[in-house]
Every structure is written in C-alpha cells, then in structure tokens.
Amino acid sequence: MTNNDIIKKLRVALQLKNTDIIEILKLVDFRITESELSAFFRSEDHPNYKLMHDQILRNFLNGLIIYKRGPMPEKNTEEKKDNNSK
C-alpha cells in the first residue's frame, strides 16, 4: 500500500475535500497547491500522477491530529518550577 493509497482512504473515510486537506497541511506550516495535491489522487498510469513521499503524509497526519483534537496546550514553565521546588 502506497502513501497515495493511504491518503485516498483517509480522504474518503473522513469525508475530506482537497481544500480541507490543504488547510490541514497549513496547520503544520506545510504549503501545497490544489494541483499538486490532485496529482496524488490520480491513477498510477496517468501522466500527471505523482508518488506521495513520506514527508507529505507525515505532515498530513500531524496536521490531522491538530485538526481533530486542537493544538497541544503549552506547558506553563512557572508550574514546572513550582513542582520542582517541592
């Protein structure tokens, strides 16, 4: 199973549009155009097909966590100092 297959299945399962995927990637500061993204969803024998590299899938999955769960709360450094002094 290729990364292209994985993102295709996730797109269907989560009912995501290409614009949703672009926004998810923006959450992790990864920019991609709609035409670049559509190349990943083409059939393998299409002349404009592109293989999705691990970096793009990894960024999508990290962005998906933020999209579904929200950003990770920042740890308060004052709390850490107080807990360490006890």
Question: What DSSP string runs through 6-62?
Answer: HHHHHHHHTT--HHHHHHHHHTTT----HHHHHHHTS-TTSTT--PPPHHHHHHHHH
Handedness of CA 50, 53, 56, 61 (dihedral sign): positive
- Domain count of the fold of the chain: 1
Can you give the residue range of the structural domain that contains 42?
A: 3-85
Q: Is the pLDDT of residue 71 over 90?
A: no
pLDDT in tens, 9-67: 999 999 999 999 999 999 999 999 999 999 999 999 999 999 999 999 999 999 999 99
pLDDT of residue 7: 96
pLDDT of residue 82: 57
